[in-house]
Amino acid sequence: MKALILSGGQGTRLRPLTYSIAKQLVPVANKPILHFVIEDIINAGITDIGVIIAPETGEEIKKSITNAGFPAKFTFILQEKPLGLAHAVKVAKDYLEDDDFIMYLGDNLINSGIKEFVEEYKENRYDATILLKEVQDPTRFGVAVVDENFKVQRLIEKPKEPPSNLALVGIYIFSPKIFSAIDRIKPSWRGELEITDAIQELINQGGMVKAHKITGWWLDTGKKDDLLEANRVVLDDLIQRDIRGKIDEQTKINGRVVIEGGAEIENSIIRGPAVIGKNTKVKNSFIGSYTSIGNNCLVENSAIEFSVILDHSEIIGVERLDESLIGRKTRVIKDGSVNKAVKLMIGDDAEVRL
């Protein structure tokens, strides 16, 4: 079995941040989202991995994966234009050949992992397997109708009147039969080849499509608030206390906090779960729960909570920075004296004075 990770797209919902970084490389808990996806796939025993890339961000994706040193073989496949998930599968046909494969959207995370679903698929040889999650607002998602045995009967993309609350998670397992189904569908009103249409065509032709309902968390990190929530959940679920940096006697560390090597903390309070990256300096500051601060940052005379700060950024004199996403090489400096919370989403290479 092979894997196909979709790491194309323009990340418009995360702009301005994604003008200069691929959305799949935005970190949660100081690790790119894409790296969590790759680790999940390798943990399921799949080491032959294709990665769909876009012209705008492809080289950055390649560099990130190559430098990480994953124990897997990677093939990078260019999708010239974002013409749909089914189109991405079609573009990858020469790579996938006649193998079964798992398709995983590169900005999705699930806490249960895919290993058990892959093993169950191999045992039963379905034509496809999809993962579903109960959601409060099914109109925002592709929705599935299943029978009592969780055999998929019908798929509807973003229905106005949802027949169920079971949304499609961005993880699928396919047999090679999906290619003939894709060949029989036409572009949607968006001009894209939709994977939901392809799966429905597979069902129409008598294919066996099995669904699994996941009960743990599922995170689609396509928007700022979703990404901050992903950071919160991952920190809450995965972080254990690990102090490798330098801490002075005045500093207090409470709870599950990771302070990476080369970091220096002076006269500050760090309240977990939180992560402080390599070579980052924190002085006279409060770092609250659910905060990830990247590598080579400076935080001075500031309070930060429920935020993600990317590498090489500086936060100076900000009384309270809350629910914020700050890009790389960005400086946020407060010169005034008014005490007010600040909520920001700032792209790379910026400077903000408050």
**Are 284 and 214 within one domain?**
no
**Are 171 and 55 within one domain?**
yes
Amino acid (one-letter) located at 190: R
CA distance linking residue 89 with residue 108, whole number of Å: 17
Strands 281-283 and 264-266: parallel
279 part of a folded domain: yes
Cα distances (Å, whole numbers) of residue 347 to 10, 59, 299, 328, 344: 15, 19, 18, 7, 10
pLDDT of residue 161: 84
* Of the residues 177, 200, 227, the one at which a domain ends: 227
**Are 208 and 247 within one domain?**
no
Give the chain's residues under pLDDT 50: none
Of 274, 279, 285, give the one whose Cα is nearest residue 332: 285
**Are 223 and 243 within one domain?**
no
CA distance linking residue 235 with residue 216, whole number of Å: 15
Give the CA radius of gyration of the chain.
22
**Are 257 and 200 within one domain?**
no
**Are 250 and 220 within one domain?**
no
Query: Do the Cβ atoms of 52 and 79 come closer than 8 Å?
Result: yes
Domain count, the chain: 2
**Are 77 and 221 within one domain?**
yes
| β-strand partners of 309 | 293, 326
* Of the residues 171, 193, 227, the one at which a domain ends: 227
CA–centroid distance for 219 within its chain: 7
Q: Which two tokens stand for residue 12?
A: 């418009």
54 part of a folded domain: yes
* Of the residues 173, 194, 227, the one at which a domain ends: 227
CA distance linking residue 110 with residue 90, whole number of Å: 25
**Are 212 and 250 within one domain?**
no
59 part of a folded domain: yes
Which residues form the domain of 51? Answer: 2-227
**Are 45 and 192 within one domain?**
yes
234 part of a folded domain: no
232 part of a folded domain: no
Predicted TM-score of the model (pTM): 0.86
pLDDT of residue 219: 76
